[in-house]
Structure 1
């Protein structure tokens, strides 16, 4: 294996390791996965949001959204109510317990990445985005629908088992 290939694989392992450590720290501090935390942070931006709105903002499927909602509701972090004019519509809001958990949640890999990535010039952001998309394609993952969430516990999101 060439030195550059080893260096590239080592960099990817570092990203995976940071993601794993971030997920473990968040779970230890709050009992939440990174996906659950981001879901709640998006709810915090207003009084109520529809499940579809949050799903679209996170880039996740309706099935994944449903699993997140069920887990967060079971933990007492969010409230769900049916729409008054359209009973098929589901409105979500944070509970007081959810707000308390958000207040103690540590800044993780997402926040650090956002802060540093946002500070880069546009050309460099585009270059990094292109490189990351190319790596995903090289690994044969270009067709997988993935949310913008670094979460080493993705199985927990897709699998509706209780925690």
Structure 2
């Protein structure tokens, strides 16, 4: 195997994610990061989380997450609730509209992959994780910084 085959495989992965993102946007009017944020909120106590908790879960920078939350708020999928003990900090909460959208949308691509990964042995998972970490190191991927690339949803 040469480096061209590796690049082709990386491109296949990127294309698959891009196609899934476009499909979600077309069918449901939501981007993958927006869907992941809604899914995260659904799993939280009282369907609420701080901006930082969402940022940490998505592994994105603060300004990108602010854009995601703002777009979701404009669509009525989330609401910002001021914290009782500190009005400067808001909790992001899933609305009924956001919960309904989650019921209508299929499992995100990452959940489909997660289900398939469960069939792998611990050793296979370790090897796969190490391979992806090597790719991330080669590409110097840590936290995605570009709002336009991450959350094109309106």
TM over 0.5: yes
2:10 maps to 12
> Which stretch shows the higher mean deviation, 51-60 or 82-91?
51-60
The structural deviation recorded for 1:118 is 2.8
The answer to which structure has the higher helix fraction is 2
Q: What is the deviation of 1:138?
A: 2.3
Q: Structure 1: which 4+ aligned runs deviate by more than 4 Å?
A: 156-159
Root-mean-square deviation (Å): 2.3
User: What are the superposed Cα offsets for residues 81-102 of structure 1, whole Å, 9 maximum, x if unpaired?
Assistant: 1111111221111111111111
Aligned 8 A contact 1:73 1:79 in 2? yes
| CA-CA distance at 1:158 after TM superposition | 6.3
Instruction: State the secondary structure of the residue aligned to 1:41.
Output: helix
Distance 1:157 1:7 in 2: 26
Which structure has greater strand proportion? 2
Q: How many residues align?
A: 152
What's 1:131 paired with? 131
Name the structure, 1 or 2, with higher relative contact order (CA <8 Å, separation 6+).
Answer: 1
Q: TM-score, normalised by structure 2?
A: 0.87
2:21 is matched with which residue? Answer: 23
Per-residue deviation, residues 25-68 of structure 1 (Å, max 9, x unmatched): 11112111100000000111132222222222222222222111
Runs of 5+ in structure 2 lacking a partner?
Answer: none
